[in-house]
Structure 1
Amino acid sequence: MSRSEKKDMLLKVAEQLFYEYGFRGVGLKQIIKEANVANMTLYNHFASKEKLVEEVLKQRENRYWSYLDSQITFDSDSPFIQAVEAHGCWLKKESYKGDMFLRAIADYAGADNEIENIARGHKIKLLNYFQKIAQIKDEKMEQDLAHQFTLLLEGATSMTTLVGAEKATAYSLEIARKLVEETD
């Protein structure tokens, strides 16, 4: 396995373990063992567990935005609905147990590191994303609409742990359609 393949394996295993057991519930030894790499391999790529967590969050965020962007046509009739549908698919595949970014905020709040900033930044980007859609669609009250859709997706993400991704998505789509109708 090449150096970059080993790093990719470490990131993949770390993300899976952090998602399943939480950031505090997983140690570096477990990641090293499940990634089947030497101790030094991990430390050659990441100076600390916090640096590994940062990279996992950045990688997950990049995948999320790439996925969302690939599913939305900004000049379509309803990019808002497309965003809710795409987010619902993401929940079903990637976030069926809740939001990794919210977990990071909870686990690392006030820890004076970059982890909380990355996680909070992800939430701010979601709001900015909906502001961009509202501006492109020339919506009245674009700030309100962006906040409403951000809250809608965050609520769907949280509800996934209670009712499952399919129901959370169905409920959020119902609300999204009403919001879009109000702005027409």
Structure 2
Amino acid sequence: MAQASKREQIITTALKLFYKNGFNATGIEEIRKTANVSKKTLYNHFKSKDELILAVLLRQDEQFRHNFIRAVERFGTTGREQLVAIFDALNEWFNDKDFTGCIFVNAVAELKYEYGPYHTACSEHKRLMHSYIKSLAKKSCAQKPDKLSAQLNLLIEGATVQAHVCGDKQAALKAKEIAMILIESNINKNLL
């Protein structure tokens, strides 16, 4: 297996440190030392910490969505099963030993650059997740896929906050009970 490029190594290290310690509490020197790269190498790839943060958010968006979709597909095969499986995938994530909430919510709360590049990257992640859930609602022949996906997204966000802030490792399973009621009431059973 090929060794990760220095750029990839820096992004991966920064992601772990930002997720664990926060964006403001993690200094560029800590990232450099942990990634085991020189200052020159780090600054050849990223002109500033801001540029690195944006690269981390974009990478995490891609990785998280990919892993999430794979987990949903592992738990369910039909559209309806996959809507329910969203909460099984969340349950896995919430019970991961490294879970410390949603890095996109954390970034917007901590960095406070409203409508800047961080906010845009975080907002785009949420939009893409919502779009994926909407595609599952359509695949399920939901009568109102826009409404159902909006409701499920609110459940997802609420469960994520409950798991992170309150340490409720069962938040996804509790949300799943509500989701199943919403899913059943919105799917036209004649089309299944």
TM-score of the superposition, structure 2-length normalised?
0.85
Moved more, 46-55 or 77-86: 77-86
Picking from 100, 105, 121, the partner of 1:102 is 105
Summarize deviations over 1:23-57 as a string: whole Å, max 9, x none. 11111011111111100111111111111111111
Segments of 4+ moved more than 6 angstroms: none
Asked if structure 1 preserves the Cα contact closer than 8 Å seen for 2:91 and 2:169, the reply is yes
Letter in 1 for 2:71: Q
Alpha carbons of structure 1 residues 54 and 3: separation in structure 2 relative to 1, 3 Å: farther
- Aligned partner of 2:26 in structure 1 is 26
Alpha carbons of structure 1 residues 29 and 89: separation in structure 2 relative to 1, 3 Å: same
Q: Distance in 2 between matches of 1:130 and 1:94?
A: 26
- Aligned partner of 1:10 in structure 2 is 10
Summarize deviations over 1:4-31 as a string: whole Å, max 9, x none. 5322221122111111221111110111
Alpha carbons of structure 1 residues 147 and 165: separation in structure 2 relative to 1, 3 Å: same
- Aligned partner of 1:38 in structure 2 is 38
TM-score of the superposition, structure 1-length normalised?
0.88
Alpha carbons of structure 1 residues 148 and 94: separation in structure 2 relative to 1, 3 Å: farther
Q: Distance in 1 between matches of 2:116 and 2:79?
A: 40
User: How big is the alpha-carbon RMSD for the aligned residues of Structure 1 and Structure 2?
Assistant: 2.2
Q: Which runs of 5+ in 2 are unaligned?
A: 188-192
Asked if structure 2 preserves the Cα contact closer than 8 Å seen for 1:156 and 1:172, the reply is yes
Q: Which runs of 5+ in 1 are unaligned?
A: none
Letter in 2 for 1:41: T
Asked if structure 2 preserves the Cα contact closer than 8 Å seen for 1:88 and 1:165, the reply is no
Asked if structure 2 preserves the Cα contact closer than 8 Å seen for 1:17 and 1:31, the reply is yes
